[in-house]
Structures are given as C-alpha cells and as structure tokens.
Amino acid sequence: MSQHDVIIIGGGPGGYVAAIRAAQHGLNVGLIDKEYQLGGTCLRVGCIPSKAMLESSEKFYEVKKGLDDEGIKVSGVELDLGAMLARKTKIVEQFGRGILSLLKKNKVTYYNGTGRFISHGKVAVTDKDGKEQHLTAPKIVIATGSKPAILPGIQLDGKYVGTSTEALSYDPVPKHLVVIGGGYIGMELGSVWQRLGSKVTVLEFLDRIFPGTDTEIAKEAYDIFVKKGFEFRLKTKVISARADGDGAIVEVEGGEPVRCDRVLVAVGRQPYTEGLGLDAIGLKTDPKGRIPVDKHYATSVPGVFAIGDVIEGPMLAHKAEEEGVAVADAMAKKFAHVDYNVIPAVIFTHPEIAAVGKTEDQLIAEKIDYKKGSFPFRANARSMTINDTVGKVKVLADAKTDRVLGIHIIGPRAGDLIAEAAAAMSFGASSEDIARTCHAHPTLAEVTKEAAMSVTGKAIHM
C-alpha cells in the first residue's frame, strides 16, 4: 500500500495542475488517471484537438476561396484530410508527453488506472489488466471532469451518431452534418466541417444560438454564420436520432425527419462521477450530479475536495486550472482564491467570440445601472491590414462608478484580446482606465481602447 500526503483522481487540466502545485508546496502527491495520455478531455478529445482542426480548416478555407485581393494567386488547392488529422494527433501526443515530463520533474507519482474510494482516506486503483493496488492519503481531490450530455431518444453508435469525440475525426468529410445544439461545441466543430465542404444544419431548442452569451453579440454571430452558409433551425425539439443505413436520421417535433451523413450531439456536458465509489465515503451529489464544496473546495466529507467540471460553475479548462492551484494552496494552508466574476470564455469560431464579466442581459435583469460603449473592427487599421474586419468590442461599465462590469468581443483574435479585459477587471479598472492606457498602433487591441472611450461618447476613430 502506497502512502501520500495528497491523492488526486483525474489528470485533466484541474487535476494535473493541482498535483504540480501541491508538489511545489513540498507535499507527496499521487495522481490517478484511467487514460495513459494525461490532459483529460481538454487535451485528448476537447480543447486542443478541436483548435488544431479549427486552425487547419480555416487556413484551407481561406486559401480555397482565394487571396486575389491580396495579390496572391492560388490554384490546385486540395484537401489532405489524413494529414490534417495526423497533425491534430501529433499536437495532442506532444502535449501529453509534456504533462508526463512535468509530473516527473515535480516528483508526482502517476498511477495509470481507474480510481475509486473504498473507505475514508483510502483509494483503490485498477489498471487496464484488472490489477488493483491501494493508496492512502489524508487529503484526496476529485478532479474527474465531465462527459457529453445525451438527450433522450439519441442512439449513439460511434459512427453515424456521435459526440464531439467522433466529430474530431470524421473521414471522409460528411456531405451533410446535423449538429444538435447551437452552443460553442457544436458551432466550433460545425465550423470545421463546413469549411472542409459539409453542409451543416444546426438544430437548437432555444430561439438563439450560443446560450449564455450576450444577446447582442449572439444575434450578430447568427447573422454572420447564416452568411457563411450555416442552416439554422431554432426553436426545434429533437425527438430522436439514430443510424439509418449508411447515414442517420433525426426526428424533430412537428416537422419532417432530417436525413444526413453524420449527427453531432452537442447539447452540453455533465459531471463525471460514475464508478468513484462516493457511497463508500457517504459523499452525495446535488440534483445536477455536481459535488457541493465550500470556498476552499472541501466537500462534506473531511479530507475530500473537488474541483473542475464536477463542481458548480462553468465547465472550462482554465477555470479548472485556477481551482487546481487554489485547492493545492488551501491544502498547504496558503492564501487560496478564485475570482469567478472574471473567468473569461472563448468560442473559437471565425469570427471568434470572447467575454468576461456580466452580459447586458444580466445587468438589465439585476437592475444595475450601466453605460455601454462599443467600437467596430472595421474602423481599425490592423483589422483592415489582415483583411478581417467583422465584429466589435463592447464595454459595459457601472453608471455611477465607471467600474467595468463586462467586456464582450466578436471579431478577430477575440480569445487573445479578452485577456486584457480580464486583467483590467481583476484590478477593478474603470472604462476610463482602459481608455487612458496607451495601446500600441496598429493593433487589434486598439478596438478595446476605443470601445472604452465610447462609454463616455468620446471614441476617436468613429
């Protein structure tokens, strides 16, 4: 039986970061993950491979549609899907090896197997051959992440009807792809295959795409994606989806069935806690399957903590990472804090969409008086030089104090630009603070500055 100061179950962004941070505090750490390739869903079948495919497909699309207006003549463009998929796999494997190296560097003991509680302070690890070993530690962290949510009536077969995992590796390119769900996962992967030649139909239960994002930004995104060729069927309830011959069929309430080559089910994610043996320690989940924790991520069971997608909050890799650092700091009796008001979110479509803080919808619902400023990318010099001028930056500030309450971006490199917004809000910046900060020229970041200036009606270039 191996003994540790801390055992972490789950090697995703939250788990491996918590392990490294705890080791940095001098703790003896054991990390358990059932997959040999560490990094969790994010690295293996989520964030990283999807971004690799988004980048490759965008380059293919850009070159194929032509660069004549930039003085570049292109002909004979062909898709080598196998090479594109191989590049994605290579990136994933490289980062996986990097995580293993980091664990070794920090003297974290890695156990490749499935972990489950067998009693308080005691965990069993079962490897792929069925061999079991027991570990003990006074502190155990649950960081097992999440899995795709599935609607009733959906019959996954791993080929014609599948989740985001299968959608990362379609071969050949589907002629017609139906995406169930108009959120970020469905729209990102839908974008990949639409650029590579698929007709994409998005079925969304709500009356809008990108639920949870600022309504004004979501409406602008909808119009952009319609122009790109996406077919949207909003306010559509899916009754069932199943394989049908060499394709699939999706039945919807009050409408004709939709026949297609592939179906991507992207209706959200749910906490992954199956097989953890929570009953053995008397730990219960809430009605949504999440594990309740206090401000230091301690559960109701002494010595047991939880972070990431298994607890309340946005299911984002960077949120899990921050919690991984915080829970390790808390266990080492250091200052531990995550400011959930400034957790940025990014949708890596084209244009990208990024946000931090409150939406305009939330401010209205909470009856908070606010001022708004926005500035379009089309009036920005750098946007024009890179030929990417769609979208804008929107700044929301308190009407009395001018403190920034939210920043929302749709446009080029939004995922990078949102970092300035998050930093500014973390330090309690006002819109005037951003407006008076010198931004390099010509850069896309100047759009954020001008949007902040626009809060008081004093933008310069519009």
**What pLDDT digit, counting tens, does each position of 100-145 carry?**
999 999 999 999 999 999 999 999 999 999 999 999 999 999 999 9
Six-digit token string for 98: 């990097």
Provide the pLDDT for residue 337: 94
Query: Per-residue pLDDT tens for 137-168?
Result: 999 999 999 999 999 999 999 999 999 999 99
pLDDT at 458 over 80: yes
Q: Catalytic pick from 134, 296, 337, 441? A: 441
Contact partners, residue 272, CB within 8 Å, separation at least 6: 144, 145, 146, 147, 309, 310
Provide the pLDDT for residue 330: 97
Model confidence at 304, in pLDDT bands (50, 70, 90)? very high
Average pLDDT over residues 312-318: 98
441 is catalytic: yes
Q: Quote the CA–CA distance of 241 and 160 in Å, as a whole number.
A: 10
pLDDT at 36 over 90: no
DSSP state of 352: E
Element (H, E) at 3: strand 2-3
In this structure, how many other beta carbons lie within 10 angstroms of the beta carbon of residue 244?
A: 14
Provide the pLDDT for residue 207: 98
Provide the pLDDT for residue 64: 95
Residue that is written with structure tokens 């902040």 in the block = 452
Per 3-state DSSP, the chain is made up of helix, strand and coil in percentages (nearest 5) of 35, 25, 40
Average pLDDT over residues 81-88: 98
pLDDT at 412 over 80: yes
Q: Quote the CA–CA distance of 277 and 116 in Å, as a whole number.
A: 5
pLDDT at 437 over 90: yes
Q: Quote the CA–CA distance of 333 and 338 in Å, as a whole number.
A: 15
Query: Per-residue pLDDT tens for 331-344?
Result: 999 999 999 999 99
Query: Per-residue pLDDT tens for 319-328?
Result: 999 999 999 9
Half-sphere exposure of 93 (CA within 13 A, CB side): 6
Q: Quote the CA–CA distance of 208 and 214 in Å, as a whole number.
A: 11
* Average pLDDT over the chain, rounded to an integer: 97
Provide the pLDDT for residue 417: 98
Query: Per-residue pLDDT tens for 206-232?
Result: 999 999 999 999 999 999 999 999 999
Distance between first and last Cα of the chain: 69
In this structure, how many other beta carbons lie within 10 angstroms of the beta carbon of residue 301?
A: 18
Collapsing DSSP to helix, strand or coil, 215 comes out as helix
Contact 412, 391 (CB under 8 A): yes
Model confidence at 262, in pLDDT bands (50, 70, 90)? very high
Model confidence at 90, in pLDDT bands (50, 70, 90)? very high
pLDDT at 1 over 80: no
